[in-house]
Amino acid sequence: MAVRSRNHVTVTGRPDGPVVMLAHGFGCDQNMWRLVVPILERDFTVVLFDHVGAGRSDLSSWSKERYSTLGGYAEDVLEICRELALGPVTFVGHSVSAMMGVLAAAQEPEAFAGLVLLAPSPCFIDDPASGYRGGFSAEDIDELLEALDANYLGWSGAMAPVIMGNPERPELGEELTNSFCRTDPDIARVFARVTFLSDNRPDLAKVTVPALVAQCSSDAIAPPEVGAFVQSQIPGSLLVTLNATGHCPQLAAPEETAEAIASFAGARR
């Protein structure tokens, strides 16, 4: 029960259905999936959880040592899988959680029926030497992190609408802003560095389970070139470009997002 309470694990949906595990991104919690869950739970067992430091997770379980790399989060994912013992899961990782899934699947592929990498980025920083475009220069990321350190609440209010996109629907940006603001600033500062400074490009080739890369048609955080790169590096993976715009399609276009997940996860049976 320690793992379940640590990550506030919840299980819903059809007990006899294939298992889908939904993992949220930076500054969010499992509530971000609330519009997708009612669609998925008709046919799937749906597992939700909060990363330690987010939502209703056990904040006393957070430590800078464990969570200063994505490896600590990936180990949490594996521990949840072992604790629930529901068999191989289709892991759906949004944004930074996509790379947690990559690391976990590379370590224990038998735990996974497949991966859905939703708006993923293995590295946010451009690498001109290799021709890789992550969407940000090193200077951009330095400035972003400095602004976060100086005024986390102000940074949240400025960045959340950019991340969300969909300016014609300001309520979406407001929701993400509020989600960011509920996160402990000290934990957010560490998680931001893990999110924006990690480089998991070499890990993509280690994935041996079926994978779907689902990118948005327009995304200020993970441009289309990033999704194409991820797909090119994971052997046998598939790429789908959603009509959804912004970086959080589970809120902006929940039906389309759920359909992409269900089509892929249902085929893993």
Q: Mind giving me the DSSP string for the chain?
A: -HHHHHTT-EEEE-TTSPEEEEE--TT--GGGGTTTHHHHTTTSEEEE---TTSTTS-GGG--TTGGGSHHHHHHHHHHHHHHH---SEEEEEETHHHHHHHHHHHH-GGGEEEEEEES--S-SB-BTTTTB--SB-HHHHHHHHHHHHH-HHHHHHHHHHHHH--TT-HHHHHHHHHHHHTS-HHHHHHHHHHHHH---GGGGGG--S-EEEEEEEE-SSS-HHHHHHHHHHSTT-EEEEEEEESS-HHHHSHHHHHHHHHHHHHTT-
Contact 45/20 with Cβ under 8 angstroms? Answer: yes
CB atoms within 10 A of CB 131: 9
Q: List active site positions.
A: 95, 219, 247
Name the residue among 128, 152, 127, 120 with its Cα closest to residue 231: 120
